[in-house]
């Protein structure tokens, strides 16, 4: 245990005091040692790797939870640093901006937040589990308000636990996806946002059934947060993970021909049958699932992209050669429904292809995919590899955090809560003939990879509907293999 443990700030202590981590009332705020930051000052965070020196045994206990461990630096530094330790290689790296599963743990999040306070950082804290939004100026809590609502679960506005930074602020912006104006918008990581109460074009405020938008606060609070949320300011987000539903299977392992396969209940994590979870193999267009995840976190999904159709890839159904610009959402449809290699390259090129590939591999490490590597955004290269265990981690992340991706793969129609989609008559390559239980997934096929597949299916056991995930690598008869595994589970576990 460290000789200098982090001092935790109590949420229940509502008495105004003058000090770091304490809410300062207006009458004594002039005593604070530093003024509200100016835009130029806040930008010192932009483009850096930021985190916190986290002390205490809890951080070390997270090693097996997420595939990484955190250790405190031995010396005090001006900017807090979190060191990530890979338990397999024992190599270290600095925590990147982005979603971080470890921050969904209450104790770890609190210690990280309090390390930020101790190091006198300026940052925004979004504690979604407690419906609380806060702004700290150099370790001093200046603003605090209730979160009224958050983005619909699984939508691209649904911000997972992580460390982000403010990218831009807008007085008012119109969302094509939700068909409403969002006031006082503070955008972080492209598609996550803090804002006031949305208003329809006719000036009518949205009702309680409104499913669009991000972290919503009341208009008065939005004004105050908007005034201080400068570009580059860190945003620390916590949202506790929901407990897995209680549903117990009695595992059996079938006699199955295909080399690499996997079937599990995606909600409670029970593996019903599997080959070696860590055996690495080419994955073909299953790569595009990670492409979609990174695009949704790095590119504005409510915007448009100028199309320069890459001449080094082809798609089975080319659709972009005559287009000058396409909505990002439409590119995701092409990517996921028709497995467009062109769409994959256009999305990667919008962010910067090299940077996009780095982001894909970084994201893989963040969610514990230690057996995976991504060489291109389309899956054409045989160097795009993974294991059934890693692909399950990716699918579970999408199922829990990016459900809209699976909605696109299941049906080429635009989800009812969004407006978009510029291509008619899309051919859904993911549909499985003779199977009506399919609710999302992705297929792939190359000479090196054979036939690959990630597919989700509904099934009823003991009167309760469950969602099963089936993963295949190196199959020679994908549809037949999926049918065989579904039949196996039904024979074993159905009434």
Nearest residue to 355 via CA among 294, 282, 437: 294
pLDDT for res 203:
76
Angle between helices 287-298 and 353-366 (to 10 degrees): 100
Please, which pLDDT band fits residue 396 given cuts at 50, 70 and 90?
Answer: very high
Q: How crowded is the C-beta side of 198, counted as CA atoms within 13 Å?
A: 28
Tens digits of residue pLDDT in 216-238: 999 999 999 999 999 999 999 99
Q: In the beta sheet, which residues pair with residue 271?
A: 264
With 60 as the cut, is the pLDDT of residue 61 above it? no
Q: Which residue has the higher pLDDT, 54 or 129?
A: 129
pLDDT for res 78:
34
pLDDT for res 309:
65
Strands 215-216 and 192-195: parallel
| Cα–Cα distance, 211 to 178 (Å, whole number) | 8
Mean pLDDT of 51-66: 33
pLDDT for res 434:
75
Mean pLDDT, rounded, of the chain: 77
Using the structure block, give the residue that is written with the tokens 């919008």.
Answer: 350
**Is the CB of residue 227 less than 8 Å from the CB of residue 196?**
no
Mean pLDDT of 85-110: 67
| Cα–Cα distance, 176 to 464 (Å, whole number) | 37
Tens digits of residue pLDDT in 235-289: 999 998 776 666 655 554 456 678 899 999 999 888 888 888 889 999 999 999 9
> DSSP letter at 42?
H
pLDDT for res 185:
95
Tens digits of residue pLDDT in 298-326: 998 888 998 876 766 776 777 787 778 88
With 70 as the cut, is the pLDDT of residue 79 above it? no
With 60 as the cut, is the pLDDT of residue 54 above it? no
Please tell me the least confidently modeled range out of 146-150, 154-158, 210-214, 368-372. 210-214
With 60 as the cut, is the pLDDT of residue 346 above it? yes
Coil, strand or helix at 358 = helix
Nearest residue to 216 via CA among 160, 145, 297, 136: 145
pLDDT for res 421:
63
Mean pLDDT of 33-38: 35
Active site residues: 285, 288, 339
Q: Alpha-carbon dihedral of residues 305, 306, 308, 309, nearest 10 degrees?
A: 50
Please, which pLDDT band fits residue 418 given cuts at 50, 70 and 90?
Answer: very low
Tens digits of residue pLDDT in 455-465: 999 988 888 88
Those residues whose C-beta lies under 8 Å from the C-beta of residue 290, and which sit 6 or more positions away, are: 360, 363, 364, 374, 394
Please tell me the least confidently modeled range out of 20-24, 29-33, 122-126, 481-485. 29-33
With 70 as the cut, is the pLDDT of residue 127 above it? yes
Please, which pLDDT band fits residue 94 given cuts at 50, 70 and 90?
Answer: low
Those residues whose C-beta lies under 8 Å from the C-beta of residue 421, and which sit 6 or more positions away, are: 327, 329, 330, 333, 413, 414
Domains of the chain: 26-238 (2.40.440.10), 260-493 (3.40.710.10)
With 60 as the cut, is the pLDDT of residue 165 above it? yes
Q: What's the start-to-end Cα distance of the chain, in Å?
A: 52
């Amino acid at each position: 245990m460290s000789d200098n443990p982090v001092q935790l700030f109590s949420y229940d202590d509502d008495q105004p005091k003058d000090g770091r981590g304490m809410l300062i009332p207006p009458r004594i705020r002039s005593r604070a040692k530093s003024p509200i930051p100016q835009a130029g000052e806040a930008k010192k965070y932009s483009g850096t790797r930021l985190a916190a020196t986290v002390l205490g045994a809890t951080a070390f206990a997270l090693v097996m939870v997420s595939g990484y461990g955190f250790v405190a630096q031995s010396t005090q530094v001006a900017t807090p640093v979190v060191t990530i330790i890979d338990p397999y290689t024992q190599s270290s790296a600095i925590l990147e901006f982005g979603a971080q599963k470890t921050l969904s743990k209450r104790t770890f999040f609190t210690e990280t937040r309090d390390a930020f306070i101790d190091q006198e950082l300026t940052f925004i804290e979004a504690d979604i589990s407690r419906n609380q939004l806060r702004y700290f100026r150099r370790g001093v809590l200046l603003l605090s308000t209730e979160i009224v609502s958050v983005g619909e679960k699984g939508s691209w506005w649904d911000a997972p636990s992580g460390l982000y930074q403010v990218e831009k602020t807008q007085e008012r912006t119109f969302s094509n996806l939700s068909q409403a104006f969002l006031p006082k918008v503070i955008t972080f990581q492209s598609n996550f946002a803090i804002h006031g109460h949305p208003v329809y074009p006719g000036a009518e405020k949205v009702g309680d059934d409104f499913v669009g938008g991000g972290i919503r606060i009341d208009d008065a609070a939005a004004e105050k947060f908007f005034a201080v949320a400068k570009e580059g300011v860190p945003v620390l987000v916590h949202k506790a993970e929901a407990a897995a539903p209680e549903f117990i299977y009695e595992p059996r392992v079938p006699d199955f021909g295909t080399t690499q396969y996997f079937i599990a209940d995606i909600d409670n994590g029970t593996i019903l049958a599997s080959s070696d979870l860590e055996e690495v193999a080419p994955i073909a267009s299953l790569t595009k699932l990670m492409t979609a995840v990174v695009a949704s976190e790095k590119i504005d999904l409510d915007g448009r992209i100028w199309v320069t159709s890459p001449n080094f890839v082809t798609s089975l159904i080319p659709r972009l050669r005559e287009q000058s610009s396409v909505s990002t959402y439409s590119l995701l449809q092409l990517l996921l429904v028709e497995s467009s290699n062109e769409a994959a390259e256009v999305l990667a090129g919008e962010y910067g292809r090299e940077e996009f590939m780095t982001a894909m591999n970084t994201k893989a490490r963040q969610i514990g995919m230690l057996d995976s590597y991504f060489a291109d955004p389309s899956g054409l290269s045989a160097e795009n590899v993974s294991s059934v265990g890693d692909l399950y981690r990716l699918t579970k992340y999408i199922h829990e955090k990016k459900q809209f991706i699976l909605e696109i793969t299941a049906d080429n129609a635009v989800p009812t809560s969004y407006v978009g989609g510029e291509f008619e008559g899309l051919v859904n390559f993911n549909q499985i003939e003779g199977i009506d239980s399919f609710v999302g997934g992705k297929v792939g096929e190359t000479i090196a990879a054979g036939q690959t597949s990630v597919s989700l299916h509904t099934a009823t056991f003991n009167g309760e509907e469950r969602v099963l995930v089936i993963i295949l690598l190196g199959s020679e008869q994908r549809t037949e293999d999926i049918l065989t595994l579904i039949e196996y589970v039904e024979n074993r576990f159905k009434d």
